[in-house]
Structure 1
Amino acid sequence: MLLNDSINKESPLPLYYQLKELIKKEIEEGKLTPGEMIPSERDLGERFEISRPTVRQAINELVNEGILNRKKGLGTFVAKPKISQQFLENLTSFQNEMKAKGLPYSTKVIEQKEVLSSPELESVFGEGYSSYIFIKRLRYIKDNPVVVVSTYIPKQLAPDLINADLTNASLYETLQLNYNLKIQRAQRVMEAVVASDEDAKWLELEKVSAAMFIKTTGFLEDNRIFEYSLARYRGDLTNFTVNLSI
């Protein structure tokens, strides 16, 4: 970390803000790279002759903005840039969104099996189905695990889905092309959660890490529910964009 620029103590700009902008400049110019540790609060304070609370305020703001992240007992590091996703406002597949962004992606199918109905599934789909195809997938972007998603599809709607190759194919496209399902809309509910130990393992997160939990209920043209998905996204690698208009 070079930080060749200095802090101007005669400037009306607060000292913490000047330090914050210096660190951001180092990152933007590639002098500090993702995963690299920045100097300690003490070292920065001595380098610029400012107090540790001032340094801490600058670092706290950068952490809150997702530019830096702290690792307990290790230090503060440059965060990996987040990937913005628009799937909250567009009903599209993961593959199609990544292709549109020009990002390399891949999918690992963890489980693909038939499961019996349960009270939870009946509360979503009703009592008309006795079994479902359960699919658990891990999605990667740029070789980083980004989301683990568990999906339930009524077996009656897609009898042979258990044999489908969903490593390279879109689930939505498979349902539409192979089973003539007319997908119309989806309802998504999002909340911040602490990743479970299992999710942390798949997403390569430290324990007690934040994740974004998104529950999707998909509907066909005739208003039947065809999909129930539970996805957990890495909070340090993704953010979500929603465009609103009046």
Structure 2
Amino acid sequence: MKLSIDHSSPIPLHVQAEELLRSLISTAEYRDGKLLPNEIELSKKLAISRATLRQALNKLVYEGLLVRKKGVGTKVASAQSISSKSKNWLSFSQEMEARGIPIRNFELHISWVFPDQKVANFFEMKSERKVLKLVRLRGRPEGPFVYFESYFHPRIGLTGDEDFKRPLYEMLEKEHNTVAYVSKEEISAILADDFIAQKLETEKGSAILFRKRFVYDVAERPIEYNLGYYKADSFVYTVESRRE
């Protein structure tokens, strides 16, 4: 894999370094436990400071994707459970791929809809204008554990003909020059209604983790309104807080 970043890009260097590292650790070579190049070597190859590189590395360590051992080096963390951490704006596919968890799409539907008032308000647009809606039912090969509904701002330029089986944010960046830069989330516990219970193959009234995700681009303009319904016995959400 070629290790380089674009110094002429408006995307901050630490963000580019972070994305490069995410791609690097998703390869079979590094998932198998090989140590990453050391910081001095990698920062020279990328022509960035060690402080900038460390900012990217620290984010992945914080998310649980990398493990750093003093005197040994940094390598990919072993995947023991399905989890997600706050301050992580990766797409679901990228999260699971980074952990080596095989994911299957049980359903994938695309449509153009008039947004409800909540979605319209988030996008700061009138509800009379249609937006692209993406519905996905996803999980391990043995069964689904999450149902997603995503709505996208028309500004992105999605047509509906894109390959939505690809990692979402990777596709948005490469095909539509839209970088998912900030994610703000709301987490709550709800009980499965008939619809969600049927989708997730669980009992009506069973515990569901409900996550709203609001995604913004580098200019902090809204790009995605996402609703996720997770089977509570199949997903762990980790939050880490630090006192300033």
Letter in 1 for 2:112: E
Distance 2:239 2:206 in 1: 24
5+ residue gaps, structure 1: 1-81
Deviation, structure 1 residue 176: 0.8
Aligned to 1:7: none
Distance 2:107 2:175 in 1: 19
**Does 2:217 align with 1:220?**
yes
Using structure 1 for the length normalisation, give the TM-score.
0.62
**Does 2:82 align with 1:84?**
yes
Distance 2:182 2:214 in 1: 9
RMSD of Structure 2 on Structure 1 (CA): 1.8
Aligned to 2:70: none
**1:138-217 alignment, distance < 5 Å:** 138-160=137-159, 162-167=160-165, 169-217=166-214
Q: CA-to-partner distance for each residue in 1:84-111, whole Å, 9 max, x for gaps? A: 3124331112222212222111223432
Aligned to 2:94: 96
When Rg is computed on C-alpha atoms for both structures, the one with the higher figure is 1
Deviation, structure 1 residue 159: 3.1
Distance 1:121 1:90 in 2: 22
Aligned to 1:230: 227
Q: Is the 8 A contact 2:192 2:208 kept in 1?
A: yes
Q: Is the 8 A contact 1:84 1:241 kept in 2?
A: no
Q: Is the 8 A contact 2:88 2:183 kept in 1?
A: no
Distance 1:244 1:85 in 2: 16
Q: CA-to-partner distance for each residue in 1:103-126, whole Å, 9 max, x for gaps? A: 111223432011123322222111
SS in 2 for 1:110: strand
Q: Is the 8 A contact 1:195 1:209 kept in 2?
A: yes
Distance 2:241 2:225 in 1: 25
Runs of 4+ in 1 over 3 A off after TM superposition: none
Distance 1:117 1:86 in 2: 28
Q: Is the 8 A contact 1:103 1:142 kept in 2?
A: no
Report percent identity of matched pairs: 26
Letter in 2 for 1:195: A
5+ residue gaps, structure 2: 1-79
